[in-house]
Structure 1
């Protein structure tokens, strides 16, 4: 059981970190880069990126996987010193999931539903998207995702420390 607990905690830490990294990449590179392009390029690139990210690798292994693996790590650590850290990490990551589903995904979907950038009013579509709002909530996901990853890392440290004690 100890091996499974550690494996679940390692996997939770990795997947949470990867997901936080995606949010970080959007915050530090993707959105700032798109902010500098014309409306047609913005709408087309964002639509294409959003279609690409909605798939089993990011959604299954990363986004949902991080939540499920953190829950599993917590369940396998019920009598361990690491449990409070795992629980808080789970709660913070759950908030990123809620924000994603409640804010970012509907905004993404609305921009995709606006239509083909070759046939729509891309200036209106971009304005309706509200980049500042999207970035604000993405930045929240970055902070919470990184904090969750850090807490899981601390839980790993505590797990290793208690395993090393006789």
Structure 2
């Protein structure tokens, strides 16, 4: 059971790393070339579409499986697995802190601006969002990648 939970932590963390990476290398560079109204509308649509069971199962599952896995290996006394699992959990938790502390508030502010056609200045909405959201998305991509690597390391040790 320990390996199955560790594998679930690894897979869900890897999927989150891949999601954030896709934004870094394709979604945001593509939107960078769009005008402000299009940018705001697309990001608002993404914010709505992403809150689905598949996303939430990986987003929350990585934390839950990572925590359970870390506890199981701490109790078992297998330090060679516990240490990288703990590192993976800590890095994923850091990504969550960044997401809840910065990305979700920025997404909420973007959504609160209303539809771009009814917003007085979509450019101002974009300027309040994009310069902070994009570089910190790179940071959470790296945090998730580090978490994924640590969980992979734990799997090799298991």
State the partner residue of 2:11. Answer: 14
Query: Which stretch has the larger CA shift, 120-129 or 91-100?
Result: 120-129
State the partner residue of 2:96. Answer: 97
Secondary structure, aligned partner of 1:108: helix
The number of aligned residues is 154
Residues 89-118 of structure 1: per-residue CA shift (max 9 Å, x gap): 100100000000000110011001000111
Runs ≥4 residues deviating over 2 A: none
| Aligned counterpart for 2:47 among listed residues 43, 47, 50 | 50
Instruction: Determine the C-alpha separation between the residues in 2 that align with 1:34 and 1:20.
Output: 20
Which TM-score applies when normalising by structure 1? 0.90
Unaligned runs of 5+ in 1: 160-166
Residues 59-106 of structure 1: per-residue CA shift (max 9 Å, x gap): 2x1111100100111111121120000001100100000000000110
CA RMSD between the two structures:
0.9
Which TM-score applies when normalising by structure 2? 0.94
Instruction: Determine the C-alpha separation between the residues in 2 that align with 1:137 and 1:51.
Output: 20
